[in-house]
Structure formats: C-alpha cells, structure tokens
Amino acid sequence: MARLGPTWPSRLAVGWLCLMLSPVIGAQETTDAGLNDLVILDPGKHERGLPAVVLEAIEGGQQIDIPPKVHVHRYYYSGDKVFQGPILQGGPTMVVASHPKTGERMYINAVLPPGAPRIAYTKASITYVYTDRRVEIQFRGFPHDPCVAIVKHHSGKGMVRSVRDAHVNLREHVSETMRNSPLVNSVKETASGGADLVQGAKTAVGEIAVTGADSINTLSSLIPGFTYLKSLGEQRPQQEYESAIERAATKAERQEIPFVRTNR
C-alpha cells in the first residue's frame, strides 16, 4: 500500500529551516495596536497633505521652504513595542519625543520616505520600519551629550526582523496550503462518502507527487543549496512511475501467453 506523507527530502528541508529560524522565532517583538501613540500635525500648506514647497520673501530676495510635519510620540518611552503606523506622505518631519533616560522633551529633524511603516520603540531608539528601509532615531546617554539625538538611515528591515517576517509568512502560507491541499481534501471527501481512510488514500495517491512538489517549492526560495534535495524529491515519483509501467507490461504479457498444462 502506498505510504502517505512527505518524502524524506521535504522532511529534511523543513527540519533544516526550523533549526535556522529557532534563534529568532523565540525573540518575538511585542506588538501593540498603537492607538493614539503617534499624533501627526500637518502644516496644511498642501491640499493633499504632500510636502509643500513654499516660496517666501526675505530681505534681498526669496527663499524656498518645505514646512515639516510634526510627529508627536506622546507615550515614548513606556516600554518596548511595535505598532503599525498610518500612511505617511513623507518629507521633512519634526519628531517630538521625551528622552528615554532624562525625560527631556526633544525635537529631532528627520526626512521620512512615504509609505506605511511599522514603528518600533526601544529604550534607546524610535525606528520607522519600511519594507525596504528604516529610519532610526537614536537617543544617546553617557558619555555622549543626551541633548543630541542621531538620525540614521538603513537599508532593509534588519536581519532579525526580516527572518521573523519570513517565518510568519511561511507559517501562514503552510496553514493556507493545508486548508487548500488537494491531497487532504481528497482524503476527507472520500472518507466522508462512506469509505474508510485506506480508500481515501488510494483516491488521493495520484496527487501525492504534485502536492509534494508544491511543498518543496514553498521552501526553495528560503533554503540555500536546495537544488540537490529537490532533484531527489523529483526522482522518486519518476522511479515509482516507471516501475509501475514495467509491472503493468509484465502482467499484460503473462495474460497474453496461453497456459498449456503438461504431464510430467
């Protein structure tokens, strides 16, 4: 009887992936709804809220100004957390927050890209995390001047956060795949029709190769050096198929040869 379940290459791949993700899976960020954490004050110089370009007259000529928006983080710092921020138009921004160590109110000038970032609070920084970059506002302590905050621009979301997001996406995808799996649905439908689980397995056995390939392809983009495992996973269904053809041909030949009883 055909044995249902993942082949050993896919089991090895899943085990390898869990081993690589285990150090960061446990370090989950504390998530928060972020209700009223961030207050945005718009200077109102542009009808669509975009960074406005204002031409101002000065003595001896004119100058161009871009009035900044104001971001007030009124609950910083009240603990480490991450919350989803609103859609931002970006541009020059004045970030207002209390220093996490001294409690002094600080006004930091930064330039933010447009988008809907997640906002991460730690005891030393406020970070706007976008899909491809992040803007970090660092609050320094002794021996540095606590009255000065540093704005840093980084590419990417950060290694730990990227791996954590990949794990969450993979877990959601696996759950969805299991719900929509032809193999699982075929077994359930056949079993619910009055047949036993073995009959359900026989009905679904033709779909094992496709389902196994889909499971392997799900992980292939995350696991380096996966080509070898994938080739092994593809060889086994092909070998079983060829063996079945040979057995069927042999059986047909035996049925065509007349059996003549002889006396010995």
Distance of alpha carbon 153 from alpha carbon 133, whole angstroms: 7
pLDDT single digits (tens) 145-169: 888 899 999 998 755 555 555 555 5
Q: What is the pLDDT of residue 28?
A: 47
The rounded distance, in Å, linking the Cα atoms of 248 and 219 is: 35
Q: Is residue 126 part of a domain?
A: yes
Query: Does any domain span residue 234?
Result: yes
CA angle 106, 112, 118 (to 5 degrees): 90
Domain containing 50 equals: 31-155
Asked whether residue 41 falls in the same domain as residue 132, the answer is: yes
Whether 72 contacts 41, CB under 8 Å: yes
Residues 105 and 202 in one domain: no
Task: Give the pLDDT score at 224.
Answer: 47
Is 132 in the same domain as 50? yes
In a domain, 113, yes or no: yes
- Identify whether residues 140 and 37 lie together within a single domain: yes
Is there a domain that residue 1 lies in? no
Residue 173 lies in a domain: no
Same domain? 37 vs 14:
no
What pLDDT, in 10s, does the model give residues 54-91?
888 888 888 999 999 999 999 999 999 999 999 999 99
User: What is the token pair recorded at 82?
Assistant: 């991450």
Are 141 and 235 contained in the same domain? no
Tell whether 60 is covered by a domain.
yes
pLDDT per residue rounded down to tens, the chain (264 residues): 555 455 656 666 656 655 555 544 444 444 555 678 999 999 888 888 888 888 888 888 889 999 999 999 999 999 999 999 999 999 999 999 999 999 999 999 999 999 999 999 999 999 999 999 999 999 987 778 888 899 999 998 755 555 555 555 556 656 666 666 666 666 566 555 554 544 544 444 444 444 444 554 554 444 444 444 445 555 566 667 667 777 777 776 666 555 555 555
Instruction: Please state the pTM of the whole predicted model.
Output: 0.52
Residues 240 and 143 in one domain: no
> In the numeric block, which tokens belong to residue 48?
């669509």
d(C-alpha 41, C-alpha 51), whole Å? 13
Can you give the pLDDT at residue 181?
Answer: 64
Q: Are residues 38 and 150 in the same domain?
A: yes
Same-domain check for residues 151 and 200: no
Any idea which residue has 């499971």 for tokens? 215
> Would you say residue 79 lies in a domain?
yes
100 plus 128 within the same structural domain = yes
Residue 79 forms beta bridges with which residues? Answer: none
Cβ atoms within 10 Å, residue 38: 19
Same domain, 46 and 91: yes
Overall domain count for the chain? 2
